[in-house]
Structure formats: structure tokens, C-alpha cells
Structure 1
Amino acid sequence: MRRHPPRLPARIDFPWRVLPNRSADARPRLGGEDLEAILSACHGKIDEAWERFEAERKILAVSGLVGGVDPELCELVRALIRVHDGVLPSRTLAIRSGVNI
């Protein structure tokens, strides 16, 4: 707004106090059971992500099929690796390279 005012259709007025509830009462802390439930859910997600990571490492380590892994997933992972040197490509780049995600 300061450097290119004509680009905006109208003036933007920001409130003087950006954090209006700054002096509000502190919320009560979570109890031990609540924290354990949150941590348990986090550990479950981490374990799930690690299993996917390990499966993809197995896919890349061999050229054939991997036991317990969908053959289409094996093909997709290997194709994506070839597109952008191991960096996950954008959808546009993947499609342009012949990989339809």
C-alpha cells in the first residue's frame, strides 16, 4: 500500500490496536491426560509418515516390485524421482514430464 497505492482499489485502514484481546485472562493449562492424548496422536502420525518414508526408500533401492507396496505406487515414485532429480516437482512440471499425479 505504501509503495504502490494505485494498485489497491481503496484505502486500507488498519486498526490501531492489532491485538485487541492482549490483556485477556490467561486460559487454563491442559491437564496431563489431555497432553498425553495429543502426544499419542502426534506419535501415531509420525510413525505413519516414517513407514511411508521407509517404503519409498525400499522402492528406490530396488528396480522391481516391493512386497506389500502397490505396483502403481512403485512406478509413480520412480517416475517422480526422475523428473526433478529427487525433488518433488510441481504438478505442472510432473504432467509436462509425462507423470500424471
Structure 2
Amino acid sequence: MNSRSGHTDARLILLAPDDNCLIAAARLAAGETLEIEGERVTLAKTIELGHKIARRALAKDEKVLRYGARIGHVTEDVARGAHLHTHNLESDYLPTYTHDAGHEFVPHR
């Protein structure tokens, strides 16, 4: 078990006790139900291997912790079990880049 209270799906990795995100240790399909600290959560989106998932609900502008260190902040309210990525997470240290339709890197800020 890798949680403070209750069972957490073994395919989710908690890197440090204070982290508010979990890491997917496998590809998790949209619509799949899993447990996070004893609460059943149905995934709205497919979450790829190595991607972050909200360990608990996060309020807009709340800092995201990974390995116990701040890696950025959420740009909107995020539900427990939601995918944390460039669509709702912004680095506080480095610009975030995404691919646009023309396959060019575009700053996400």
C-alpha cells in the first residue's frame, strides 16, 4: 500500500509521502475504475505510463509536489484521479512546450 489511508491501486506509484500526485506504472484506460487511498475513481481520460495523476482534489493555483518538491501549479481545479499534464499543470520554473497542429513546438504559457 502506498497511501496515507486506504488502499491505492498497485499501478499507481507514490514517490514521496507528501506528494499530491501519483505516477502511472502502466497505461490506464479511460473509463477504468481504480482506487486511490480507499476512494474509487473512474478515469475520464486514458493515462499513459509515467504520467501524473492527482492523488487528491487540487484547487486552481495549488502547487503540485513530486518527489516532495514543487514542480509547478495547476491552472484549474482538478479532481482526484485526474490526469495532470500540460492542459492543467504549468511549470513554475521552465516554459512548457506542446506540439501544435503543424508539429512545431509552441510555448504553453
Whose Rg is larger? 1
Flag the structure with higher helix content. Answer: 1
* TM-score band, normalised by shorter chain: under 0.3
How high is the TM-score relative to the length of structure 2?
0.21
User: By percentage of residues, which structure has more strand?
Assistant: 2
Could you say which structure has the greater relative contact order, defined with CA pairs below 8 angstroms and 6 or more residues apart? 2
